[in-house]
Copies of this chain bind each other. A is one copy, B any other.
Amino acid sequence: MARERSTTRREALSMDVGFVGLGAMGRAMARRLLAEGHPVRVWNRSPEPVAELVRAGASAAGSLAEAFEAPVVLSMLADDRVVESLLLDEELLAGARAAVHVNMATVSPALARRAAELHARHGLAYVAAPVLGRTDVAAAGNLNILAAGPSAELDRLAPLFEAMGRRTWPLGEDPAAANVAKIGANFLLVSAIEAFSEAAALAEANGLDPAALLEVLTNSLFPGPVYAGYGAMITQQSFEPAGFRLALGLKDVNLALDTGAASQVPLPLASLLRDALLQAVAHGHGEADLAAVSTTSRARAAI
């Protein structure tokens, strides 16, 4: 396996990549591809990020269609709506020379199913490969990549994934599965934040320093980046700058709820999170870090 990978890697040096969507995550990921020697032609709705990437060695695609002339196209767009309007386009796909489109955004499994079917109709493979990790993780090439789609395509894409991530998790042939995994991960993330927020309010009201509680927890039951990172923001009630915007967390919880509704799976904890996040938005914390949902636990208790 290790040998096979390194072979693939060598071959990949000549792999031409189209990259669509140069937000903060997209830029960091495209830079990693360039750093590993992949020629990248980039496209973005606004021109500034394109110019930035061109300075870093990318070429600029004059249109989406031009980006889809590369054999492999990666996209990292904001949400279902943007993907739908830009990429699920009969004309674009009919004219594409690309063999595979890898959608790395956090979108619904319903969109993945529609996309896979539409791509297949036009002879393209569709791979879903959403990622775990913020922009700093992306910049370091340390993302966890949750990938699902035709296994031959996943093999072919391995060198690109290796350029961007520390590990790729193959989740089967059905692209939707990767989106479900990403949605599940973010749902657990927000759950952990709400749980610690409530515990911190309980602690504070009962004479226990939430920071002391956090130290115990992260050194015993709950190691890892989530409790430590968000926990510190919560104990300090400091939510700027936003590593993960609260409004995006609400979008992701809504994805979980919509996916649950479509598959008849009630998710009462996701409902609770949605209400708490919505309350935080109503109180002006939509652009703050996700950890600002903790303001709601404090407000309930008049702390």
Q: Are A274 and B272 in contact (CB under 8 A)?
A: no
Residue of A172, A187, A199 with highest tally of chain B CB at under 10 A = A199
Annotate A250-278 by CB proximity to B: 1 below 8 A, 0 otherwise.
00000010011101111111111011101
> Is B271's CB under 8 angstroms from A271's CB?
yes
Interface residues of A in 172-198 (CB under 8 A from B): 172, 174, 176-177, 180-181, 183-185, 187-189, 191-192, 194-196, 198
User: How close is A290's CB to chain B, nearest CB, in angstroms?
Assistant: 13
Q: Is B222 a contact of A188 with CB atoms below 8 Å? A: yes
Contact of A300 (CB < 8 Å), options: B144, B256, B265, B301: B265
Q: Is the CB of A271 within 8 A of B272?
A: yes
Minimum distance in angstroms from A56 CB to a CB of chain B: 27
Contact between A132 and B221, CB atoms less than 8 A apart: yes
Chain A interface size, under 10 / 10 to 19 / 20 to 34 / 35 or more? 35 or more
Nearest neighbor of A171 in chain B, beta-carbon distance: B212
With A180-B202, A221-B188 known to touch, is A279 a contact of B267 (CB < 8 Å)? no
Which A136-170 residues sit within 8 Å CB-CB of chain B?
144, 146, 167, 169
Q: Give A274 to B260 CA distance when docked, in angstroms.
A: 11
State A270–B300 Cα separation when bound (angstroms).
14
The interface-forming segment of A11-19, A119-127, A203-211 is A203-211
Question: Contact between A184 and B202 (Cβ–Cβ < 8 Å)?
Answer: yes
Residue A299 at the chain B interface, CB threshold 8 Å: yes
Give bound CA distance, A226 to B226, whole Å: 14
Asked if A202 and B278 make an inter-chain contact with CB atoms under 8 angstroms apart, the answer reads no
Is A99 interfacial (CB 8 A cutoff)? Answer: no
Q: What distance in Å separates the Cβ of A110 from its nearest Cβ neighbour in chain B?
A: 10
Docked complex Cα distance between A169 and B221 (Å): 14
- Does chain B have a CB within 8 A of A213? yes
Q: Which of B221, B225, B270 contacts A198 (CB 8 A)?
A: B270
Q: Please, which residues of chain B bring their CB within 8 A of the CB of A283? A: 302
Q: Is the CB of B184 within 8 A of A203?
A: yes
Question: Does A236 count as interface, using CB distance less than 8 angstroms?
Answer: no
Across the interface, A202 reaches (CB within 8 A) one of B189, B267, B302, namely B267
Cα A266 to Cα B293 with chains together (Å): 13
13 more A-B contacts (CB under 8 A) besides A188-B199, A205-B264? A144-B216, A181-B203, A187-B198, A192-B222, A195-B195, A205-B263, A221-B226, A222-B224, A264-B281, A266-B275, A268-B276, A275-B300, A282-B300
- The 5 A-B residue pairs with the shortest CB-CB distance in the complex, in nearest-first order: A191-B195, A264-B282, A271-B271, A184-B199, A265-B301
Interface residues of A (CB under 8 A from B): 109, 132, 144, 146, 167, 169, 171-172, 174, 176-177, 180-181, 183-185, 187-189, 191-192, 194-196, 198-199, 201-203, 205-209, 212-213, 215-217, 219-226, 256, 259-261, 263-272, 274-276, 278-279, 281-284, 299-303
